[in-house]
Amino acid sequence: MAEEETYLISSLGESQAMEKEEGKEENFFSSPRGKIISATVAVVVIVLGVFSGKLLAKPGEQEAKTATSGVAAGEEIKRGMEFGLPDAEKTFKDNAIGVLKEGGIDGEGTHHLEREGGPSQNVYLTSSTVDLSQLTGRKIQVWGETFASQKAGWFMDVVKVKVLE
């Protein structure tokens, strides 16, 4: 009886060695069932990543609207309308009021606010949040962050605009 068990064990070892040599050993991930499970796990991980990103995102970052997207085609921009990041006045303490004009100063800014006191009181503006060109010629209030500049006395990146007139 001991010889039979030895024979079975040794023949089992020989057959496994033969399979390895012939390359017929099947890996779990290369089997059809393994491929299905791997694909399912990948899809679940991607879906969970997308949903967790949406849940963890700050609400204000997704709700920003530009002047052109906030106004329907043919609709007139009216007094009191606001564009840009909601609640920006809480985060960005710099603000200014004036009439928006096109043009910066020596390459700094795309627009400027004309304020009382003459050209020395102008605020030169740029914005990636609000399309300022839609508001040219209007009296507005802007909120944003002041940056150092070479030519402009006051250079601001605008994140929110309120139409005053």
Q: Domains, the chain, ranges and CATH? A: 2-56 (no CATH), 67-163 (2.40.50)
Judge contact between 63 and 112, C-beta under 8 A: no
Is the pLDDT reported for residue 21 higher than 70?
no
β-pairing, 94-102 vs 123-126, is unpaired
How confident is the model at residue 32, as a pLDDT? 84
How confident is the model at residue 75, as a pLDDT? 64
Query: How far is residue 156's CA from residue 149's CA, in Å, rounded to a whole number?
Result: 9
Judge contact between 83 and 130, C-beta under 8 A: yes
Q: Percent of the chain having pLDDT more than 90?
A: 25
Is the pLDDT reported for residue 150 higher than 50?
yes
Judge contact between 142 and 96, C-beta under 8 A: yes
Amino acid identity of 72?
A: A
For residues 59-88, one letter each, b for 16 or more C-beta atoms within 10 angstroms of the residue's C-beta and e for the rest, the string is eeeeebbbbeebbeeeeeeeeebbbbbeeb
Is the pLDDT reported for residue 118 higher than 90?
no
- Mean pLDDT to the nearest integer, 158-163: 92
Confidence of residue 68 (pLDDT cuts 50, 70, 90): very low
Most confident of 18-32, 37-51, 61-75: 37-51
C-alpha neighbours within 13 Å on the C-beta side of residue 1: 0
Q: In the predicted model, what is the mean pLDDT of the chain?
A: 78
